[in-house]
């Protein structure tokens, strides 16, 4: 379709706002900021002359835009104050997991993952995307994402099995 269809775009905004906001929240760790990032991503998508018209490609392009805007946010933050730049160890784990499981062991295990590992785990298992889709969104090769997810899961298993609690089951 050569001419933009505002109704189609609006339907995409309605259907993807919630998952996109969850994804952005995983990246920026602030729900209000996540909403702003998603709003800016949709605005950029609408202004882009190369906006995809198929839903699968639109979603991939949207998630890539959200990732880029999140990285830009941290770059600007780092330029303003070098001591305020977040480090991988200080970042919160997937907040979605925290809401679903208040298990201290799981929360502590997720904190050992780096941002790219958390991003890959989130996209692969919480967004239920294939390795190929996850790789496209993260801008990496599929084999790289497979290795990243495999290693992240191994880290989680090691951490959880090293810190067992009698009333909890390890992964």
pLDDT, one tens digit per residue, over 115-170 is: 888 888 888 888 888 999 999 888 999 999 999 999 998 888 887 777 665 454 54
With tokens 């090691």, the residue in question is 158
Q: Which residues contact 171 (CB under 8 A, 6 or more apart)?
A: 156, 157, 160
Distance of alpha carbon 142 from alpha carbon 11, whole angstroms:
30
Q: DSSP readout, 93-109?
A: --HHHHHH---HHHHHH
How high is the pLDDT of residue 5?
A: 83
Residues 79 and 112 in one domain: no
Q: Interior CA angle at 61 toward 22 and 37, to 5°?
A: 40
Asked whether residue 171 carries a pLDDT value surpassing 60, the answer given is no
How high is the pLDDT of residue 163?
A: 66
- pLDDT band, residue 91 (cuts 50/70/90): very low
With tokens 């709003």, the residue in question is 39
Asked whether residue 2 carries a pLDDT value surpassing 60, the answer given is no
Residues 92 and 82 in one domain: no
C-alpha separations of 37 from 95, 103, 120, 144 in Å: 17, 29, 19, 26
Residues 52 and 95 in one domain: no
How high is the pLDDT of residue 162?
A: 75
How high is the pLDDT of residue 20?
A: 93
Segment 83-106 shows an average pLDDT of 51
Distance of alpha carbon 171 from alpha carbon 169, whole angstroms:
7
How high is the pLDDT of residue 76?
A: 83
What three-state secondary structure class fits 140? coil
Q: Which residues contact 74 (CB under 8 A, 6 or more apart)?
A: 85, 86
Q: Tell me which residue range forms the domain holding 82.
A: 1-86
Residues 140 and 165 in one domain: yes
Question: 34-85 pLDDT, tens per residue?
Answer: 999 999 999 999 888 888 888 889 999 999 999 999 888 888 877 776 554 4
Asked whether residue 109 carries a pLDDT value surpassing 80, the answer given is no
How high is the pLDDT of residue 164?
A: 60
Q: Which residues contact 146 (CB under 8 A, 6 or more apart)?
A: 131
Segment 5-22 shows an average pLDDT of 91
Asked whether residue 98 carries a pLDDT value surpassing 50, the answer given is no
Residues 78 and 91 in one domain: no
How many independent structural domains does the chain possess?
A: 2
**Dihedral, 137, 32, 149, 83 alpha carbons, nearest 10:** 110
Distance of alpha carbon 24 from alpha carbon 110, whole angstroms:
17
How high is the pLDDT of residue 61?
A: 92
Asked whether residue 114 carries a pLDDT value surpassing 70, the answer given is yes
Residues 94 and 171 in one domain: yes
Residues 49 and 93 in one domain: no
Residues 1 and 54 in one domain: yes
Handedness of CA 4, 37, 100, 168 (dihedral sign): positive
């Amino acid at each position: 379709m050569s001419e933009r269809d505002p109704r189609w775009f609006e339907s995409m905004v309605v259907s993807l706002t919630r998952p996109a906001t969850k994804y952005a929240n995983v990246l920026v760790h602030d729900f209000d900021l996540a909403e702003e990032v998603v709003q800016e991503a949709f605005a950029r998508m609408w202004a882009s002359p190369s906006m995809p018209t198929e839903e699968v490609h639109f979603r991939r392009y949207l998630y890539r835009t959200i990732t880029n805007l999140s990285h830009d946010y941290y770059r600007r933050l780092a330029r303003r104050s070098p001591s305020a730049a977040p480090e991988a160890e200080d970042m919160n784990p997937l907040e979605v997991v925290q809401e679903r499981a208040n298990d201290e062991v799981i929360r502590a295990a997720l904190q050992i993952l780096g941002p790219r590992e958390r991003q890959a785990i989130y996209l692969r298992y919480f967004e239920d995307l294939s390795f190929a889709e996850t790789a496209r969104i993260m801008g990496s090769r599929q084999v790289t994402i497979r290795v990243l997810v495999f290693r992240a899961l191994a880290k989680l298993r090691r951490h959880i099995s090293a810190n067992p609690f009698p009333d909890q089951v390890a992964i």
